[in-house]
Amino acid sequence: MTTRTAKQLPHERRKGEAALSDFADFVEKQQALRYPTSKPAATTATSNNEEQHHEELDILDSLNLDDAVPQVPLRELLLASADDGDEEEDQKSLQKLVDVIDTRLLEGHTEAVFDLGFENNGDSMRLTKAEFDAALARLRKAARTVHADCNVLLTKNVGGDAEADSVAAGKDKDKDCIGKVMIRQAPSAAERVIETRIAVVGNVDAGKSSMLGVLVKGDLDDGRGKARVNLFRHKHEIETGRTSSVGMEIMGFDTEGKVITSDVPGRKLSWEEIGKRSAKVITFTDLAGHEKYLRTTVFGLLSSSPNYCLLMVAANNGLIGMSKEHLGIALALNVPVMVVVTKIDICPPNILQQTLEQISKILKSPGARKIPVFIRNREECINTATQFVSQRICPIFQVSNVTGENLDLVRTFLNILPHHGRYDADAAFEFHVNDTFSVPFVGTVVSGIVKSGVIHTGDSVLIGPDSLGNFTPTSVRSIQRKRIDVPAASAGQSASFALKKVRRKDVRKGMVVLPKVHREFVAEVLILSHATTIKTKYQAMLHVGPVSQTCAIIDVDRPFIRTGDRATVAFRFGRTKGLGIVKAVGYDPRRPLMPTTGEQEPGQGQGQGGRGGGRGDVYAGVGWGLKGVIFTFFQVLVFQLALSIG
């Protein structure tokens, strides 16, 4: 029997885009409530009317504009010198500058971009060329005190390799000497390395694996898949050139912002070598682009907890196929999106222009509400990267993996990319299992993301649930990050645990590692689509990150909920499964399974699926071999959770 899908009308499409956008805003607000970033309110009495909060003004809190504590101008701290008089005063001012740097490094997770030439409140220091050089030298001296290095990203009216293009073109009329300086602290241990996770998505044949191979190894592609071979995990992936599993690759930067690569051309460094030499690590999750691997891609997006999403678009194909699906999932997950247009070396200029216009149109649509920013030079790249804390901005790069055009801009952007993510290291420990291994002489190993809390080697934990819904007590034998042994792992870090007294066959993807287990939880849910009303005792399949578990509704804040409703619901984990045997292929509505009075019950005479005449003969000839096949079933409903288990 063939089915026809009705074409979606324009107003229905706009309604769907608006619903997706509203849901993304709802998730963002709920996450802000769970992870408050603003400073606690003062204890002074306020009026009954609460003031409306504006997130775009939160940056004012970091400018130290409070009049209660007088601030020493940065110009005085940067230009103070022992030659001017008292050496003791010079040391005091240097220590104050060190305190400023230390505070910014703490806020930026051991890295910060220092705007040399501007005060904390944004006023210009009006530095000359000589004063700028002196201030930069003193900044480097203060940074070395806290074991950090300075890398000049961009300068104006200073000269040198980092000079902005706008100055050379005469577009910038300001004559003050200013610059952006990246200050990055050397990690004291492997567990202190900055980690940023990026999910790489896009349609099939968009060049995802090839670009990752070029970025990680440093060698260009030959146009026939040379760069992607080392990223594949299976033989059929090498043969077809298409990713079918969730691949992982890392890219390291040192304290000076240089990419960690091998000194021998063509040699790929191991994860241990990159981890030990890096101060910042970018973890790429290479996901499948083919439609039949969409479930694997969704699992990779949810389980890897990406800080950013890198959408790859082939210049000669445009935003087609699964690219739109991947973009929609990233928007629903409230993850900042970057776009990379590949294969510009083989794409005609008119087709490239059409692709860029299409991307801009989709990003500006009501469902996305992004501001596309095309990155064409180093100045635009650095300015956009430092402002990427705003999730409305969507940078767009145009690269070629064969000629290497604009790949340096992508590397620079990844180096400056601020650490994005909300994690609570003070909360109870929670770890989601993304993969399992059996390592010789080590035992069972599970890998995944630490969602909250801190875990140490030797801690006792529970892992589960198993097929019966039980949790197994175990302890952590050892912990590794990027294949380097570490004594502990904290919230937001990806890690691998070797577990004691647990067999590989008893663990699976989607399990959780917890110190304490709860079977009930309360969540605020939005029903995107459902045919009937939902009330207590309803059985559903719950998806939270890599976890997929059946649960039952035990309480709702209203009599029932239906499509479009947002409600607070209490759930209890359970097991809703069944076992059966296929009796017939197909269904005849003229012969219902529950007959009315006076009708013949199915199975008697020429009942549905029988071997008599009528349609039963057709079923016997077409698919009777399915009779007797054992199957399991469960009701499925995907709830998008705004609040996680509590």
The two tokens of residue 306 are 């990406």
According to DSSP, residue 180 is labeled: E
Map tokens 């490239």 to a residue: 352
Query: To which H or E segment does residue 341 belong?
Result: strand 337-342
At residue 413, the pLDDT reads 95
Residue ranges in 522-643 assigned as alpha helix (H): 615-623
Cβ(462)–Cβ(515) below 8 Å: yes
**What are the pLDDT digits (tens) for 257-292?**
999 988 777 677 888 888 889 999 999 988 887 777
Q: Cα dihedral sign for 384, 387, 388, 394?
A: negative
CA 114, chain centre distance (Å): 26
Which uninterrupted H or E stretch holds 364? helix 349-364
Please check the confidence at residue 402 and state whether its pLDDT lies above 50: yes
Residue 181 in this model has a pLDDT that exceeds 80: yes
Residue 480 pLDDT: 93
Average confidence (pLDDT) over 285-308 = 82
Q: How far is CA 378 from CA 108, 416, 553, in A?
A: 22, 12, 53
Higher confidence at residue 613 or residue 329? Answer: 329
Q: Is the pLDDT of residue 595 over 60?
A: yes
Amino acid at 41: A
Closest CA to 495 of 456, 460, 441: 456
pLDDT at 503: 93
Residue of 38 and 203 predicted with greater confidence: 203
| pLDDT given for residue 597 in this prediction | 56
Q: What is the pLDDT of residue 21?
A: 63
Asked if the model's pLDDT at residue 231 lies above 70, the reply is no
Q: What is the pLDDT of residue 478?
A: 95
Predicted pLDDT of residue 575: 61
Q: Output 289 or 454, whichever has higher pLDDT.
A: 454
DSSP helix/strand/coil, 121: coil
- Asked if residue 468 has pLDDT above 90, the reply is no
- pLDDT grade for 546, boundaries at 50, 70 and 90: low
Helices H, strands E: what count in the chain?
Answer: 14, 26
Amino acid at 627: K
Q: What is the pLDDT of residues 58-86, one digit of tens each?
A: 544 544 444 444 567 888 889 886 455 57
Burial 18-42 (b: 16+ CB within 10 A, else e): eebbebbebbeebbeeeeeeeeeee
Strand order in the sheet with 371-374: 247-253, 280-286, 194-202, 308-314, 337-342, 393-398, 371-374
How much of the chain, in percent, has pLDDT values that exceed 70? 74
Q: Determine the average pLDDT of the residues in 298-325.
A: 87
Q: Tell me how far apart the alpha carbons of residues 119 and 72 are, in angstroms, rounded to a whole number.
A: 10
Question: pLDDT grade, residue 171 (50/70/90)?
Answer: confident
Domains of the chain: 74-185 (no CATH), 190-416 (3.40.50.300), 430-514 (2.40.30.10), 520-578+635-641 (2.40.30.10)
Tell me what the mean pLDDT of segment 25-50 comes to.
50
- Which carries the bigger pLDDT value, residue 389 or residue 191? 191
**Helix pair angle (10-34, 322-332), 10° resolution:** 40
Query: What average pLDDT does range 496-502 have in this prediction?
Result: 94
CB of 573 closer than 8 Å to CB of 551: yes
The whole-number pLDDT of residue 173 equals 75
Contacts with 395 (C-beta within 8 Å, 6 or more apart), sequence order: 338, 339, 373, 375, 381, 384, 385, 388, 413
The pLDDT of residue 56 is above 80: no
**Which amino acid is located at 587 in the chain?**
Y
Nearest to 334 by CA among 416, 422, 411: 422
pLDDT band, very low/low/confident/very high, at 177 (cuts 50, 70, 90): very high
Separation between Cα atoms, residue 209 and residue 161, nearest integer Å: 32
C-alpha 545/C-alpha 640 separation (Å) is 10
Question: How much of the chain, in percent, has pLDDT values that exceed 90?
Answer: 34
**How much is the pLDDT for 600?**
46
pLDDT at 390 over 50: yes
pLDDT score for 104? 92
Given a cut of 80, whether residue 119 has pLDDT beyond it is yes
Q: What is the pLDDT confidence band of residue 170, given thresholds at 50, 70 and 90?
A: confident
Structure confidence at residue 459 (pLDDT): 95
Alpha-carbon distance of 297 to 293, in angstroms, equals: 6
The amino acid at residue 496 is S
- pLDDT at position 236: 59
**Separation in Å, CA 475 to CA 49, 82, 484:** 51, 57, 19
Question: What are the pLDDT digits (tens) for 191-226?
Answer: 788 889 999 998 888 888 888 888 887 778 777 666
Query: What is the residue whose two structure tokens read 């287990």?
Result: 517
Please tell me the least confidently modeled range out of 63-67, 296-300, 413-417, 513-517. Answer: 63-67
Using CB atoms within 10 A of its CB, is residue 69 exposed (0-12), middle (13-18) or buried (19+)? exposed
Q: Which two tokens stand for residue 47?
A: 């009026």
Scored b (16 or more CB within 10 A) or e, 477-507 reads bbbbbbebebebbbbbbbbbbbbeebeeebb
The per-residue pLDDT for 9 is: 56
Nearest to 148 by CA among 67, 257, 252, 307: 257
Section 420-424 average pLDDT: 76
Greater pLDDT, 50 or 485:
485
What is the pLDDT at residue 99? 92
Sequence-distant (≥ 6) Cβ neighbours of residue 519 within 8 angstroms: 572, 573
The per-residue pLDDT for range 344-368, each reduced to its tens digit, is 999 999 999 999 999 999 999 988 8
pLDDT of amino acid 268: 74
For residue 637, pLDDT over 60 is answered with no
Please give the average per-residue pLDDT across 176-187, as a whole number: 93
Backbone angles phi, psi at 30, to 5 degrees: -70, -35
Whether residue 593 has pLDDT greater than 90:
no
How is 254-318 classified by DSSP, letter by letter?
A: -TTS-B---SSTTPPPPHHHHHHH-SEEEEEEE---SGGGHHHHHHHHHHT--SEEEEEEETTT-
Q: Is the pLDDT of residue 456 over 90?
A: yes
Mean pLDDT within 216-242: 65
pLDDT at residue 419 is higher than 90? no
Residues in the chain: 646
pLDDT at 300 over 70: yes
Give strand pairing partners of 437: 445
- Could you tell me whether strands 430-439 and 512-514 are parallel, antiparallel, or unpaired per DSSP bridges? antiparallel
Residue 309 · residue 421 · CB < 8 Å: no
Query: Dmax over Cα atoms in the chain, in whole Å?
Result: 111
Determine contact, residues 197/494, Cβ cutoff 8 Å. yes
Contacts of 217 (CB under 8 A, 6+ apart): 227, 230, 261, 266, 268
- Token pair in block for residue 194: 């900055």
Residue 638: strand, helix, or coil: coil
Tokens 């885009």 belong to which residue? 17
Asked if the model's pLDDT at residue 551 lies above 90, the reply is: no
Arithmetic mean of pLDDT over the chain: 78
Contact partners, residue 334, CB within 8 Å, separation at least 6: 24, 27, 28, 31, 391
